[in-house]
Amino acid sequence: MAGIVVVFDFDKTVIEPDSDNWVVDELGATDLFNQLLPTMPWNSLMDRMMVELHAQGKTIDDIEQVLRRVPIHPRIVPAIKAAHALGCDLRILSDANLFFIETILDHLGIKDCFSEINTNPSYVDVEGRLRISPYVDFKSSPHTCINPCPPNMCKGMILERMRCCVAKEGRKRMIYLGDGIGDFCPSLKLDEGDFMMPRKDFPAWNLIRENEGRVRAEIHEWVDGAELESVLLKLIEKIRIQESSLQSLMVDCKFGSIPVAAHESRPQVLRVHQ
């Protein structure tokens, strides 16, 4: 189903913890992190923490080792592999950073399942420090979103741009999975016929409930990796059935072979929200 684009948030969606917190906690820098958090944006703080950890003797290899043992629900990797095998176009949209995400996806053997990783850029500098930059340079050109998005990234704007690009290839249906406050904005950018999968009892799910009626996509919650897998695969199957009904109707119309009775019964089959 090349017509389905599945967009995954990363922290607390693909992996169980927040990758930033995981690295900071596992490398023993939690106190410093908490002390600095009120003084700067999260993304800038993570860059600062990487410099601090390097000064304390922590290497890139130490960071990689910590990332490789990040907790993940056992059904997440099979879910991603299955969606990819069904022909879906899978993408990451995350406020973590490229180094963390690529290291983890590589380790899990699922990096090639994703066509895009949209996240904060990162690189290892000449001194061997991991440096993390904001996705949006909020000092020189801040984004103008009024939703609760962090200064360095509006996921809604990225999703809109994604939709524009893929629309050139023909009709696409989107499924978005996420848990955090930053995942609320993209949920408002989804269209009718798309699906939003917020993690139950997490901030995005709460915001969506408080703003009922503003999300045009059909909403399907999930609690853990097992439910994520079953809901995601059901939605992919649902879209597949809807799209094949639509195609057969278009063929019927083209050849003028659609009987009178079918004119009356088909719209039920085609309804997006069943």
Which residues contact Zn ion (rule: CB under 5 A)?
145, 147, 149, 154, 156, 185
Please state, in angstroms and rounded to a whole number, the distance separating the CA atoms of residues 73 and 71.
7
Residue span binding Mg ion (CB under 5 A) among the ranges 97-105, 111-119, 176-184, 207-215 = 176-184
Q: Does residue 12 belong to the site contacting Mg ion (CB under 5 A)?
A: yes
Q: Residue 145: name its binding partner from Zn ion, Mg ion, none (Cβ under 5 to 8 Å by kind).
A: Zn ion
Q: Considering the candidates 9, 18, 89, 183, report the single residue annotated as catalytic.
A: 9
Beta carbon of residue 14, minimum distance to Mg ion (angstroms, whole number) = 9
Q: Residue 149: name its binding partner from Mg ion, Zn ion, none (Cβ under 5 to 8 Å by kind).
A: Zn ion
Please state, in angstroms and rounded to a whole number, the distance separating the CA atoms of residues 160 and 78.
28
Please state, in angstroms and rounded to a whole number, the distance separating the CA atoms of residues 226 and 209.
23
Told to judge if 9 belongs to the known catalytic residues of this protein, a careful annotator would answer yes
Sign, CA dihedral 175-179-182-185, equals positive
- Report the binding-site residues: 9, 11, 20, 95, 179
- Give residue for tokens 């992190």: 33
- DSSP letter for 199, please: B
Q: Residue 94: name its binding partner from Mg ion, Zn ion, none (Cβ under 5 to 8 Å by kind).
A: none
- Give residue for tokens 């939690």: 30
State the binding string over 179-218 for Mg ion (x if CB under 5 A, else -).
xx--------------------------------------
Told to judge if 191 belongs to the known catalytic residues of this protein, a careful annotator would answer no
Provide Rg for the chain, Cα atoms.
21
What's the length of the chain?
274
Q: Does residue 9 belong to the site contacting Mg ion (CB under 5 A)?
A: yes
